[in-house]
Structure 1
């Protein structure tokens, strides 16, 4: 996710969602039958629901992988050389591809995402000639590169290695096989030699740029990557327009040759520290592996000290290894300060939190805190949801900031204060979605951004006793009115549904829908519909079942229903498949009889509080079944004491579209 320029909007909008300030786009159901004019038709809300993806041998009715579930594997060996003079990366790549599907594959599809920077890319046309970051902010007219330049592409199959027949179309490459690849474990190797010009800061998710101290190179989407072949669509070849990724899992060995003066930080474990670090740096690194407090590996003062590198002049090759991952990235700079600390994981296991940043990023509320934030976030999420699976977690200050990858996040050189904490927690939260649970970000952004936005609430609430929280519990402004911005952004018929492809949201609507509505849906599920005990049990099982696999939205829906113990068709239909409004009103109070109506199409468990003139209160929750047959409910209280006021949703936890009808006061 690219959220650099809109994270403050992110916090404000998210706060408003939690308070129920959102006004959903109008119900777009024409000719649906009786009740639509008044805003509610139970035949729509409670109609039988067929989920988009069917149950079969690959995907079970309880939302878990089926007995015949399969997944292909892509392992990578990469030898990269960074030319800082020419601003060019040259790489030799070997992909070992295993076809575990039952199908014979006559061709292979590969993602070549550096081609997004070509003048003729689909992204450039779709965005009107300007690169757009996530959230819709326009980066302005952009330079271009030639994208990938392929020196050779070969296929090694059996004992033969032959020149490959291939076709490049935008950000995809199809390799047509002379001998089709058999299923059930058939394997071949793709050999690719290529180079490309590294984009400047305008590159967004991959770039090079200059700080006051020196250059930083953030290298992402830096190698051709296999498209996913799955049981849902066969080859999933959506082009790279700007939304994020869908990738196969595998094992990675990658080697980065860079000028000796540079520190290279990347995904996974550094295999050859003796070849690229000084004796002092190795000793400090070992100390950090056993320290809960941050330890400098390379201090700010040592950045300008030539003896902080093992030799002078020439190049060094850094070797990294990472297992069970869908991607790897790295960054290189001669001006990196480097610090680290131990991460304590469940069952006594450990990982290592690390940060690299230029000297100008040093500060007591800035990058001095990066490793501490990283450590705390990963420890908390590992305990609550699923153990962190990799040997290191690296936070990197550079120019491709506000973006996450397996084991690495890229943040900004100037980040500091609460903003930096929220950003770090959010980016490392993506470890769980979609790095561990490998959903399709280009098609279903809410399973990535929405789920992660939901879990990072916890970190804000608990770090340092809530120093940067609570993230969703700001008080109403004077008079109880929501910010105009929320109404303008969300009360919009063009917002689309949570099920729309990520690239299809118009301009500023991507974040409000996929991030905030996606996260608020999870809060409603946990706190209002299932309750924490049932929700947490079901969600943890979903994460465990789909760790390093590819779930669909239907798998998630079924998992939460099966283990949560509720038929939630009405919620999936209203919140995810449509943008239905929720609006429950107190119509009248006559003696001890209260009449309440549902005026929207969405239903939710609804708290109602009766405030007696004596000062006593009675609170009940109307279940969704209240609206199963009709839109009006008449409640006759057993207590005949005089009523002073009746209030729907007294704590403002629900997304009520019209709060002016939520209470009725009696004289």
Structure 2
């Protein structure tokens, strides 16, 4: 213990300019501002993160006719595009995306795909490598202006440039048409974001159609034309527009699509129209096409075709699904005073799981996302089940997960379904409405969406098994091999460990911002402000970073730098703790305390043995050898000691006397940043009486020294244990050094049966019930 009456003065100075000297190179500071990394604000994008007063964006309106060939799994289409130049620039050509060209045998995506061979390989892997080449990609038949005159065009892998016959000046529009066809991929065999699934049991197909037509690329104030090649990971950058789409399919098919159905009386029976009207007012899912209806349609294929007409306003894309196998249910959802129709399309193979959870999950997603961003603006929101595991488009998403053939399912399948629907329907907000550039920045749609998905999951059910969002879920990735990691701020096609980097890490970062760095009130306000500012516009990373700071008043440059621009991780250790108390100078108290410490001191081994082995010491045998020092008590309080103490006390102020008699404990705690990320310190102190206290120290405590700091804590009661990040808020990757004194961190080894049961719990329970019933009936 040390006297702190004078020492406290130096504690107050330690956080000032003396500590700043420890940061030898200020350019390397974790708190360096992001001014050099972020683009210079201008009239299009302001320094606050809001759109500038001269912000502009292009527009593309479509009128499309497409026919599905159910015999050879192909589509034939014709589209008319009206492209409006709202930029201040003169355009001499326009670019379109030909995403289906990724399926061409000699595509760049196929040519740059890497792989490896092992001595032991599955037959499925070998089959994939030796598969027949699929004749995929767009077959462009004609590109014409509005007068039918051919336009010159050039195809560069997944992009197509159309040369304009004359300059397209600001505020002018150009209308042209494209005729094409393409073969539809077997999604299970070839993968992709769309395709067909064949059901051998009844001989029918289910189609999920996306990226199915040539689509305008984005021209903006940041990139000019966004025409990076599509290699499979970086998704899409698309302008907004109005769509009218006529979809011709077999007469007994049910079609779900982006937008609102325009000709229900022509494609639905009177019974289906009545059910549709009832569902639009229902607060629970009602079937428009029942399972019995769908099963009957499977068995007898109708001849002829029907054309379904859909229209959508202010969307950036259009997708659709078609099958005679579809069950179709719907319910009404109130969002911001408006009625939204939540709907699901799925085959009987998806029941009972889909009938119970799909449309309810859609409705739940709209409610939670609207609360945290903007009110859902579209009239419908759809979940479709088919071969695609999960993919999103305006108003419509494709989602996987189906039960076993006997109708049972595992909890993993159940929560997998709810999770994927929340995620894909949530993409309506990011990026279908808040329209970020997916070709460049995957995290701006996947990361932000995964974060709000986590919030929605937690509002679905207590203790929902969320796979991403909680800081503890990302630690294994963040402490992993840095050669296999890249910063979040990496182009989509160059990201390593895609799921962790583009989904998990940014979602976790936002959760930490909300819960630990900013607090829910400041974060939620700023996040909602970002959504409102950039709804139906094209935000960039700087717009998000700047808005979050602008609307909250919190400097977050250190956070964006660490989490988004580096591969650093969180590993903060408690290095040491020094305990100080105040020397009161009162001899009665001080000497009594010293005596108590002496009495507590353990006897050495020799002393313990001597008590037993030495019967009598020399002095004990000869008392005459005792003198003054044998009876002298150095801890006895003398009159001189008392006089000295009274003189000391008379020179103190009332406040100093109060401090002197307070009995306070002072702890100097040393922290070391081992992982590189500066983060807030959440310190739990456990006191001698068993009570606890949490102290939250902002991350700015590291601003003078990013690597090691000391912090003083003053307590009324003695502390027996310090713990860092007790609620796992900061994604700390090494918990064993978060304690002082250190704790033994248990490791576990698993004992398991070599052959695990392949039955899910529902099947085991059903079989047990049946066996029990059979046993009872045999008595």
Q: TM-score, normalised by structure 1?
A: 0.87
1:294 and 2:272 equivalent? no
1:414-563 equivalences under 5 Å are: 414=402, 416-463=413-460, 465-466=461-462, 468-469=464-465, 486-487=476-477, 490-506=480-496, 509-563=497-551
| Separation in 1, partners of 2:228, 2:740 | 52
Work out the CA distance in 1 between the residues paired with 2:484 and 2:464. 34
* 1:263 counterpart (254, 259, 273): 254
1:357 Cα deviation after fit: 1.1
The residue aligned with 1:46 is 31
Tell me the distance in 2 between the aligned counterparts of 1:46 and 1:542. Answer: 23
Between the aligned partners of 1:475 and 1:496, the Cα distance in structure 2 is 19
* Count of residue correspondences: 610
Which one of 712, 720, 723 corresponds to residue 636 of structure 1? 712
| Deviation for aligned residue 1:522 | 0.4
Deviations 1:214-257 (A, max 9, x none): 21011100100001000001001011111211110110000001
> 1:502/1:396 Cα in 2 relative to 1: closer, same or farther (>3 Å)?
same
Residues 62 and 543 of structure 1: is their aligned pair in 2 closer, same or farther, counting only changes over 3 Å?
A: same
Q: 1:257 to 1:637 in 2, by over 3 A?
A: closer
Kindly state the Cα deviation for residue 445 of structure 1 after the two structures are TM-superposed.
1.0
Corresponding residue number in structure 2 for 1:385: 373
Distance of 1:561 and 1:272 partners within structure 2: 48
- Aligned match of 2:194: 206
Q: Return the alpha-carbon distance in structure 2 between the equivalents of residues 48 and 340 of structure 1.
A: 50
Is the contact between residue 121 and residue 170 of structure 1 (CA under 8 Å) also seen in structure 2?
yes
Match of 1:167 in 2: 154
Map of 1:651 onto structure 2: 727
C-alpha contact 1:115 1:148 (8 A) present in aligned 2: yes
- Write the distance in 1 (CA, Å) between the matches of 2:77 and 2:148: 19
Deviation digits for residues 482-507 of structure 1 (CA, Å, limit 9, x no counterpart):
99x9359844332101010111123x
Separation in structure 1 between the aligned mates of residue 240 and residue 46 of structure 2, nearest angstrom: 22
| Contact 2:97–2:216 (Cα < 8 Å) also in 1 | yes
Query: How many angstroms does 1:401 deviate by?
Result: 2.7
Counterparts in 2 of 1:660 and 1:410: CA distance versus 1, 3 Å: same
Distance 1:75 1:474, change over 3 A: closer
Aligned counterpart in structure 1 of residue 667 of structure 2, from 593, 598, 611: 593
SS where residue 149 of structure 2 aligns?
strand
Which moves more between the two structures, 538-547 or 621-630? 621-630
1:224-239 pair list within 5 angstroms: 224-239=214-229
The answer as to 2:181 corresponding to 1:195 is yes
SS at match of 1:433: coil
SS at match of 2:310: strand
Look up the match of 2:753: none
Question: Residues 590-613 of structure 1: CA distance to partner in whole angstroms, max 9, x if unpaired?
Answer: 213222223243212211122222
Q: CA deviation at 1:402?
A: 1.0
1:609 aligns to 2:598 (yes or no): no
Q: CA RMSD in A?
A: 2.7
Instruction: Kindly indicate whether the alpha-carbon contact (under 8 Å) linking 1:105 and 1:180 is maintained by their aligned counterparts in 2.
Output: yes
Map residues 30-429 of structure 1 onto 2, 5 A cutoff. Answer: 43-50=28-35, 51-128=37-114, 140-141=128-129, 143-156=133-146, 160-183=147-170, 185-201=171-187, 202-211=190-199, 212-213=201-202, 214-243=204-233, 244-305=235-296, 312-346=302-336, 348-363=337-352, 365-412=353-400, 414=402, 416-429=413-426
**TM-score normalised per structure 2:** 0.74
Is 1:665 aligned to 2:654, yes or no?
no
Q: In the aligned structure 1, how far is the partner of 2:532 from the partner of 2:317?
A: 20
Alignment check: 8 A CA contact 2:401 2:416 kept: no
Deviation at residue 618 of structure 1 after TM alignment: 3.0
Per-residue displacement from partner, 1:559-606 (whole Å, max 9, x unpaired)?
Answer: 001001111111111111112222222121221322222324321221
What's the CA shift for 1:472?
6.2
**Unpaired runs of 5+ in structure 2?**
1-20, 117-123, 404-412, 580-665, 744-779
CA contact 2:23–2:704 (8 Å) conserved in 1:
no
* Runs (5+) with no aligned partner, structure 1: 1-32, 131-136, 477-481
2:243 alignment partner, SS class: strand
In structure 2, distance between residues paired with 1:461 and 1:628: 35
Q: Secondary structure at the residue paired with 1:431?
A: coil
Contact 2:136 2:184 in 1 (8 A): no
Return the offset for 1:326. 0.3
User: Which of the pair has more CA radius of gyration?
Assistant: 2
Higher relative contact order (Cα pairs below 8 Å, separated by 6+ residues): 1
What SS does structure 2 have at the residue aligned with 1:178? Answer: strand
- Give the Cα separation in 2 of the matches to 1:278 and 1:538: 48
Q: Which has the higher strand share?
A: 1
- SS at 2:424 equivalent: helix
CA contact (8 A) 1:489 1:512 kept: no
In 2, the alpha carbon distance for the partners of 1:248 and 1:148 equals 21
